[in-house]
Structure 1
């Protein structure tokens, strides 16, 4: 039970960090990565905790999607820094893209 509480609190803290610290694009990306990391670890430990011998592909797929998300996020960070001059989220507007 305490293991579930640990991963649930890590996911909740990263969601709160994403909600409250939205000034820089890099901090939003870091909060998204911590959300994905807590979900990956929870899904990786879940078969061990339930004592099922089967191998699950879901954590590996989620890790691949997380790597793609990190690469796309860093590319967007570099592009927005080059065009707007900073990584502040209030400078970005979807209507101007």
Structure 2
């Protein structure tokens, strides 16, 4: 089971490195990797009979990270008009 999770995590890294056009694809791959890390952490803590409070804390921070990424995406779309990374310079927008 853990090998499948590591494979999925590296697939998320591959999508993150190859997704150069849209900011939304990059944010989705980051969220995918966060969910895989969440599942690995949950399996690790459950296997060694630790408390699962840290999982709730990690999930809270990952939700805040996702909301921050979406707010940056919305502000970039409102200021520049699209989410294509190749169409504008980061210093101008």
TM-score interval (norm. to shorter): 0.7 to 0.9
Alignment match, 1:39: 37
Query: So what's the TM-score if we normalise by structure 1?
Result: 0.85
SS in 2 for 1:68: helix
Q: Structure 2 stretches of 5 or more lacking a match?
A: none
Report the alpha carbon displacement of residue 92 of structure 1 after superposing the two structures with TM: 4.7
With over 3 angstroms needed to count, the CA separation of the structure-2 counterparts of 1:92 and 1:15, relative to structure 1, is farther
What stretches of structure 1 of length at least 5 have no aligned partner?
A: none
Could you tell me how far apart the structure 1 residues matched to 2:7 and 2:89 are? 30
Going from structure 1 to structure 2, the CA distance change for 1:92 and 1:30 (only over 3 Å counts) comes to farther
Distance 1:21 1:65 in 2: 24
**Which residue does the alignment assign to 1:58?**
54
Provide the residue aligned with 1:14 in structure 2.
12
CA distance in 2, matches of 1:8, 1:62: 18
Aligned length: 92
* Structure-1 separation of matches of 2:89 and 2:40: 33
RMSD, matched Cα: 1.5
Distance 1:63 1:92 in 2: 33
